[in-house]
Amino acid sequence: MKLAIFFLLVVAMSSQLGAQARSGKTGPDESKLIALENAWNLAQLEHDSKALDELVGERFVYTDYDGTVMNKAQFLADIRNPSYRASLMINENMRVFLYTDAAVVIGTYHAKGTADGKAFDHTGRFTDTWILHENQWQCVASHTNLLRK
């Protein structure tokens, strides 16, 4: 059920951002990638590792703000961790840099909630590397760093 809601939101966001693309602000790939980034946040809020499994590639590598490096399995297990409870997860100032069958998305994020019983309020930057694999965008690398804790 969550997965269906997730993909419905992705389609809705893509449609809305597609309207912006027609107005000359962004192209269809940029709009889709921004929608996917926002869907990623929703999946994290909902602990929806199935949705994130669709978004990240098989050889995905994640570098967290504290220097922790995770592969896809570790990242998805971390998403399922019930001791992590985000109440806010938003991206801002996103920019998309397109290449042939690849893209880099940068931006800032704000995340609030609790982890292991302790409150957190993080503001940081992220860099996500996406590839177009079998006509589907997949994130293959993600890196975050804190601006403010």
Residue 8 structure tokens: 């419905």
pLDDT of residue 122 exceeding 90: yes
Q: Which domain holds residue 105?
A: 2-148
How far CA 148 is from CA of 8, 26, 120, 123, 137, in Å, comes to 33, 29, 11, 5, 30
| Dist. CA 20–CA 9, nearest whole Å | 17
At 135 the three-state DSSP class reads coil
| Dist. CA 73–CA 128, nearest whole Å | 18
Nearest Cα to Cα of residue 125 among 103, 92, 82? 92
Q: Per residue in 101-120, pLDDT tens?
A: 999 999 999 999 999 999 99
For 24-117, where are the E strands, in sequence order? 56-63, 69-71, 84-99, 102-115
**What CATH number does the domain containing 61 carry?**
3.10.450.50
Q: Per residue in 28-74, pLDDT tens?
A: 999 999 999 999 999 999 999 999 999 999 999 999 999 999 999 99
pLDDT of residue 78 exceeding 50: yes
| Dist. CA 110–CA 123, nearest whole Å | 4
Sign of CA dihedral 70, 76, 81, 87: positive
pTM score > 0.85 for this model?
A: no
As for how many domains the chain has, the answer is 1
